[in-house]
Structure 1
Amino acid sequence: MVVLTLPDDQNPTGARGVAFALNKRLVDTCNVTRFNLLPGRALAIQLNWTNGKQLTLLNVYAPNHMPENAVFWPAVRESLTRRRAPKVDIMLGDLNMVDCALDRLPPRKDPEDAATALGSLVTGLSLIDGWRRTHPGKRSFTYLQTSTGSQSRIDRIYVHRDLFEHAGDWDIAGAGIQTDHRMPTVAVANYNEPYIGKGRWALPHALLNDAIFLGLLRDEGMLLQTRMENRPARIWLAFKQKLRDIARKRAKERIPKLDRRIRGLRPHRDT
């Protein structure tokens, strides 16, 4: 993992700051160009994609004070121009405002100045709010104000209009860490890249703490120890094959139940 950060100059250890976390196994982290736009507020990077293509991402953390928010978006555009950053393919981050009343609970519009400034940037960069375009009438939120119970979708991902048709699986999910924000996600595919198959079979993670599977594994392991004196290589291969068959059978029983439970919990998450 490679983490690229841009902290606040005035308070580098404070909460304000933006960062990209890049997986070395999936991304060419040796050839990343960064554009430090606004300290603690906006960072852009350009990285190699596939077939010679490049992808430019803009990460923003907008002020939550609305007058400051309104002047933030023109400053981002000016900094992109001044630093000669390439065309933005994806903009994401905590925007600290919404431009649609549907994205707040209770519903309300944010100040017009901030909404107009953001709209001007989005239009100028030819960006689309992909989650809202995909779910035009749906309500889902990324931030809960615990003191008031109000919610909002202030964390969003925008993609360039040319990239939107290659983007899918738009979702809002838990971040996997302790935080008061939920995380918007999207999958972006390059349809010109070579076809890659499913790869070799791997043990499903859901079985690693499954008592029934672990009991069967223990029983087979104990039995294996009594058979290893003659032809251990063949016996070891047979053990692995049997273990794989047991895991596949148990996964067919276990995973559909987990999927049904997850589907049943999603409506409660979104209310």
Structure 2
Amino acid sequence: MRKRKLGVLAVQETHLKNGDLDALNERMKSKIFIINSGNPNRPNANGVAIILNRQTTAWAETQKWVLVPGRALMVQFPWKNGGEHRTILNVYAPNDARENETFWKELASKWDGRNPPPKPDIMLGDMNIVEDSIDRIPIHGDDPNAVEALRSLKCKLGLIDGWREEHPETIAYSYPQETTRSQSRIDRVYTTKKIAKTTREWIIEPSDVKTDHNLVSFHYYEPGQQLKGKGRPTLPLWIAKDEYFLKLGRKAVRQATQDARTYTQAGLTEDRPIQYPVQQIYNKLKIDLYCVAKGRVADAIPKMKQRIEARTKDLKRVKRQQPWKRKSARCTYDTIAPAKIRHI
């Protein structure tokens, strides 16, 4: 969560006992807050959790609803300072087709009758079915009754598939199975149309944690949020270890040190009327170092971009031609991530 700057993370198949949950919250009390719902009959099975970043969310003011123990957990927390709230529903649907259909119908019934819970702004998790055959490889549809039950729930809650809205013609998968050589996009995020209007950067990519599912993420921003510029000029951290820059930088520092000593020993004369020579030499050194570093970055970054783009194409090719070789895709992704960090 810290690396990707995530405010909220939804996890399925947590298999957490109450004692383990308390221990984790105590251990990570300065960073995250975990809200979990386990299966009371089988603590080592199922389980869903919503993890809140303590630094960026009002985690202490959350409300939760366990709609289906171990399968559906909903959390609501204050949003910004405008008195509004955001409600997130995390689901882990059964794999069996009939149980899957029953699950969606049971979940939909929670909003019937008196005093229903608030409708979620976002519903996300492992659906264990796909709505469209294009989201599976080999291409085939899922149980029509289960799909209809899910669509009925979506209609009732006013939700749409955010990733598909952002990428209407893109093919991507979140769950590659090495044993059967198949892939599917069973991990999805549904949002209301209002929320979808202020989202961007919808991504499906391998998780930093070892798991058989990919991570689905997006950026949600506040409506009317001001556009921020680039800010003051900065340099990437890798320049501090670049040999070429260090070589030129040492040369500039030696020259500046020599000039400062010369002025200090000679003092103020008619030939040297500067009142603060050392400070001006130091200021010139900073400007020179920045110009050298900026020039080096301008030369190096296009080459880094080319390497990143080349490896990204390799990753797409591996996924498209040999989707069952997850290790090959993971290996390719592992070479892209460090390059992106270095580029930044």
Match of 1:116 in 2: 148
CA contact (8 A) 1:213 1:247 kept: no
Which structure has more helix as a fraction of its residues?
2
Q: CA deviation at 1:42?
A: 1.3
Match of 1:165 in 2: 197
Match of 1:257 in 2: 303
Q: CA deviation at 1:201?
A: 5.8
Q: Does 1:55 align with 2:86?
A: yes
- Give the number of equivalent residue pairs: 269
CA contact (8 A) 1:59 1:91 kept: yes
Q: Does 1:28 align with 2:58?
A: yes
**Residue 70 of structure 2 is aligned with which of 19, 24, 40?**
40
The amino acid that maps onto 1:168 is R
Q: Secondary structure at the match of 1:30?
A: helix
133-142 vs 96-105, which deviates more? 133-142
- Relative to structure 1, is the Cα distance of residues 164 and 239 closer, same or farther in structure 2, using a 3 angstrom cutoff? same
| 1:1-271 matched pairs, under 5 angstroms | 1-8=31-38, 9-12=40-43, 14=44, 16-52=46-82, 53-79=84-110, 84-193=116-225, 198=230, 204=236, 207=238, 211-212=242-243, 215=246, 219=250, 247-264=293-310, 265-266=312-313, 267-268=316-317, 270-271=319-320
- Root-mean-square deviation (CA), in Å? 3.4
The amino acid that maps onto 2:210 is Q
Q: TM-score, normalised by structure 2?
A: 0.66
- Relative to structure 1, is the Cα distance of residues 166 and 215 closer, same or farther in structure 2, using a 3 angstrom cutoff? same
Q: Distance in 2 between matches of 1:92 and 1:217?
A: 52
Q: TM-score, normalised by structure 1?
A: 0.81
CA contact (8 A) 2:245 2:293 kept: no
CA contact (8 A) 1:6 1:36 kept: no
238-247 vs 153-162, which deviates more? 238-247
Q: Distance in 1 between matches of 2:290 and 2:41?
A: 56
Q: CA deviation at 1:196?
A: 5.2
CA contact (8 A) 1:172 1:184 kept: yes
- Relative to structure 1, is the Cα distance of residues 235 and 108 closer, same or farther in structure 2, using a 3 angstrom cutoff? farther
Q: CA deviation at 1:29?
A: 2.0
Select the structure of larger CA radius of gyration: 2
234-243 vs 81-90, which deviates more? 234-243
Q: Secondary structure at the match of 2:202?
A: strand
Q: Distance in 1 between matches of 2:289 and 2:71?
A: 51
- Relative to structure 1, is the Cα distance of residues 200 and 108 closer, same or farther in structure 2, using a 3 angstrom cutoff? same
Q: Deviations over 1:107-132 (max 9, x none)?
A: 00000111011101111111010111
146-155 vs 187-196, which deviates more? 187-196
- Relative to structure 1, is the Cα distance of residues 241 and 177 closer, same or farther in structure 2, using a 3 angstrom cutoff? farther
Q: CA deviation at 1:45?
A: 1.2
- Relative to structure 1, is the Cα distance of residues 159 and 213 closer, same or farther in structure 2, using a 3 angstrom cutoff? farther
Q: Distance in 1 between matches of 2:75 and 2:185?
A: 24
- Relative to structure 1, is the Cα distance of residues 138 and 29 closer, same or farther in structure 2, using a 3 angstrom cutoff? same
- Relative to structure 1, is the Cα distance of residues 161 and 233 closer, same or farther in structure 2, using a 3 angstrom cutoff? same
Query: Structure 2 regions of 5+ residues with no counterpart?
Result: 1-30, 265-275, 321-344
Q: Distance in 1 between matches of 2:206 and 2:42?
A: 28
Query: Structure 1 regions of 5+ residues with no counterpart?
Result: none
Q: Distance in 1 between matches of 2:304 and 2:147?
A: 41
62-71 vs 42-51, which deviates more? 42-51
